[in-house]
Amino acid sequence: MTATWEPLLSPGTALTDARMFGEPNTDVSTAADPRPGMTTVAGAPPARPDSGTAPARPAGRPRRTLLASGWSRAGGLLLAVAVLAVVAVCSIAFGSKPIPFGTVWDALWHNDGSNDHLIVRDLRVPRTLLGLGVGAALGLAGAIMQGVTRNPLADPGILGVDAGAALAVVLAIHAFSVTTLGGYVWFAFGGAALASAAVYLLGSLGRGGATPVKLALAGAALSALLRSISSAVLLLDVETLDQFRFWLAGSLAGRGPDIVAGTAPFVVAGIVMALLSARTLNTLSLGDDVARALGVRVQLARATSSLAVVVLCGAATAAAGPIGFVGLTVPHVARAICGPDYRWILPWSLVLAPTLLLGADTLGRVVARPGEIEVGVITAFVGAPFFIALVRRRKLASL
Amino acid sequence: MDATIDAPAAPPPTDRPTARATGVTRAPDGSLVVRVRRGRLSARLDARSVAVTAVALGLATLVFAWSLTLGDYPLSLGDVVRTLVGQGEQRHEFIVRTLRLPRGLTGLLVGASLGLAGAVFQRIMRNPLASPDLIGISNGAAAAAVFVIVVLGGSSTEVTWGALAGAVGTGAAIHLLAYKRGISGYRLVLVGVAVTAMMTSITSYLLTRAEIYEAQRAVVWLTGSLNARGWDHVRPLTVALAVLLPAVLALARHLRVLDLGDDAARGLGARADRVRSGLLLVATALVAVSVASAGPVSFVALVAPQIGRRLVGGSSAALVPSAALGALLLVASDLVARRVVAPTELPVGVVTAILGAPYLLILLARANRIGSAG
């Protein structure tokens, strides 16, 4: 790493960024540009991380982001929140059963006991809240995970959250005959917590503590191990497979208010922890050596950020099952919009991810009436083409 | 490519003429280097990677031979050898030649292909997570295979062809979508991530809509299995590896030069973009063939190069050692999978991670070089 960071702290870069944030007094530690090859992908020798399509940006020239100034980023964020609100309203208004908008509106304020009111109050509202929470959690967790491991391919599940939760649910079905969604929640959460603690512990062994590469590899290895144990159980027990495959698809359907209420505190706590870690992530993205020199306690910072990921992603997975793609891709979109500053990436991810998730969920209910398609399926089909277009149009190579 | 093929035959540097002769020398970093020179061609082999490859292949051969003796009908090693050279009994002939030998060979070849492909991907991307499992080829094959199983109710041969079509189609789609004045590895992986998500969601959609027994069959395929693999699996694999392995090695000669940066590499006669996209294409083909034969066996492509790099050390890409280790991991896993809950034969994909992950974790914990990436 050592040879790569010298250009990062060139005064021109820092000044430019400070100007762009509209904060002339911002100190170098947070405003310095985590330059385009920010990860130098995960500890690689200081050669080109890419095919050379993203040459290091000359100091002083604004980088290619969609919204360059602080004001436009804030304005854009407000607009994104408005879009999210519209999507949330749609999620309440539209569903497998067409209900007139007036009835939906009435149902929100009082309950006349009719079928339509029940649908809106007991099914659609909790589902929408769940979608908001799960989406926000996954988006934030993904952004933090990519920052902590300095790896653009790290998804929130890389700490073993998904695999741990899945194994716990499989064992719950197999050994304890748990078959309700409410019953899975705490197993999944416990499994997620245990697995990620184990990953962190294993990744911290040896010299140098928890380095990004060791964390990513330990996570990948342990996840694969846990997943193998799950599939061994599933292959030997058809009945468990029959139950489990529905959890595996990842869905917001059928999650009652109790699940929403049970996981909400974790999501909220995780969001607060996540947003507080933005400045540290900026510093960590300069590399461990620089971060340490700037006074960050690297191991502590990494541990707390990872804890936020576990809380967020664990709660989301427990509530809705494994939903891929959102956590991995939304941070890339956020980065394309607002550049490499985590103080912007985190809020943008927080807003964009639930927009994608809720939009996909609503679409899944409308296109397959009277049935519905799982949100995980639609998310990929709506999000992937958009993401590919983005990858082709812009140089996303900036992590 | 014509310009670069001739590169090794360039006149030797005059300052160190002795280093060009066949023999063993010590490189500046202290590692032993074996040089082989014949006419216009010369090869430079790292002694340590030769040793790792030899040990891995030796172990793989031992495990392979042992796996031929084990089964519902145990044979002695002597019986197996006699049967292989055509001196065995009639009934042994069927068991060894039709049932066990092709299965074992499929395991060796698939393991080697996956290990090699993984090493190429990780090296080019400089990212230990950039295994071919991630860029959508396996998932495309899986979606196609599950479609054949669940919707068409196809036979296992049809599933193989479906998987091959899925793998090739997805591989082509990823390359086309990522193509924009050349292939950037980074763009390829990000496009692959998006395609992976789509393919995975097709798979899980089909699984929830399937009858449970078809779903179980699909899950077995999805885990990656060597059960009931015959000669019609071995032949295409052999041809593919015979063509693709030399291609990888020919292209990989330039990898060390690419480390100097694209401009320096161009100055030294290596066309960075072509080498890189050529390698990615070949690795994609390797994955496609092996996934079609054995299903998406997870983790081999990720772990074999990691172990290989750590055993070989230095900045070597450890391509051939990774292939050897992949083969060893897969045949050993298959042996365990067949015997651990006998007579039920688990799919091999269940065991690869159970055997491979602990070893990788131990290597990680003992790593004396911090931050050695992919």
Q: What is the DSSP string of A121-134?
A: IIIIHHHHHHHHHH
Q: Which of residues 335-394 of A touch B (CB under 8 A)?
A: 373-374, 376-381, 383-385, 387-388, 391-392
Residue A64, Cβ neighbours under 10 Å: how many? Answer: 14
pTM score of the predicted model = 0.74
Q: What mean pLDDT comes out for the span A304-316?
A: 88
User: Are B306 and B374 in contact, with CB atoms under 8 Å apart?
Assistant: yes
The confidence score (pLDDT) of residue A296 equals 84
Summarize pLDDT for A258-290 with one digit per residue, the tens: 888 888 899 999 999 999 888 888 888 888 888
Most confident of A94-103, A176-185, A332-341: A332-341
User: Are A338 and A67 in contact, with CB atoms under 8 Å apart?
Assistant: yes
Between CA B247 and CA B279 the distance in angstroms is 8
Q: What mean pLDDT comes out for the span A229-244?
A: 83
- Chain A hits for B344, CB-CB cut-off 8 Å, are 236
Residue A332 half-sphere exposure toward CB, CA atoms < 13 A? 31
- Closest-CA residue of B relative to A250 is B204
CATH number for the region B2-10+20-369 comes to 1.10.3470.10
The residue of A391, A398, A399 whose CB has the most chain B CBs within 10 angstroms, and thus the best one to mutate to test that interface, is: A391
The confidence score (pLDDT) of residue B110 equals 93
Structure ipTM over 0.85, yes or no: no
The confidence score (pLDDT) of residue B328 equals 94
Q: Which of residues 203-222 of A touch B (CB under 8 A)?
A: 203, 205-208, 211-214, 216-218, 220-222
Cβ contact A391–B191 (<8 Å): yes
Summarize pLDDT for A169-216 with one digit per residue, the tens: 899 988 888 777 778 888 888 898 899 888 888 888 776 677 777 787
- Chain B hits for A396, CB-CB cut-off 8 Å, are 186-187, 190
The answer, for A257 touching chain B at a CB cutoff of 8 Å, is no
- Closest-CA residue of A relative to B201 is A377
The confidence score (pLDDT) of residue B21 equals 60
Residues 6+ apart with CB under 8 A from A137: A267, A270, A271, A312, A313, A315, A316
Nearest chain B Cα distance for residue A4, angstroms: 14
From first to last of its 374 residues, chain B has per-residue pLDDT tens of: 333 333 444 444 444 444 456 677 776 666 677 777 766 666 677 788 888 899 999 999 999 988 888 877 788 888 888 888 877 777 788 888 888 888 899 999 999 999 999 998 888 877 777 777 767 888 899 899 999 988 888 787 888 889 889 988 998 888 888 887 766 767 787 788 888 888 888 888 888 888 888 888 888 888 888 887 888 888 888 998 999 999 988 888 877 777 777 777 777 777 777 888 888 888 888 988 888 888 888 888 888 988 888 888 766 778 899 999 999 999 999 999 888 877 778 888 888 888 888 888 887 777 544 444 33
The residue of A53, A146, A223 whose CB has the most chain B CBs within 10 angstroms, and thus the best one to mutate to test that interface, is: A53
User: Are B102 and B234 in contact, with CB atoms under 8 Å apart?
Assistant: yes
Between CA B233 and CA B250 the distance in angstroms is 26
Summarize pLDDT for B132-165 with one digit per residue, the tens: 776 788 889 989 999 998 888 878 788 888 988 9
Amino acid letter, A197: A
Summarize pLDDT for B1-11 with one digit per residue, the tens: 333 333 444 44
Facing B189 at nearest CB: one of A153, A221, A224 = A153
The answer, for A234 touching chain B at a CB cutoff of 8 Å, is yes
- Closest-CA residue of A relative to B363 is A206
Cβ contact B364–A44 (<8 Å): no
Of A73-87, A103-117, A139-153, B313-327, where does mean pLDDT reach its minimum? Answer: A103-117
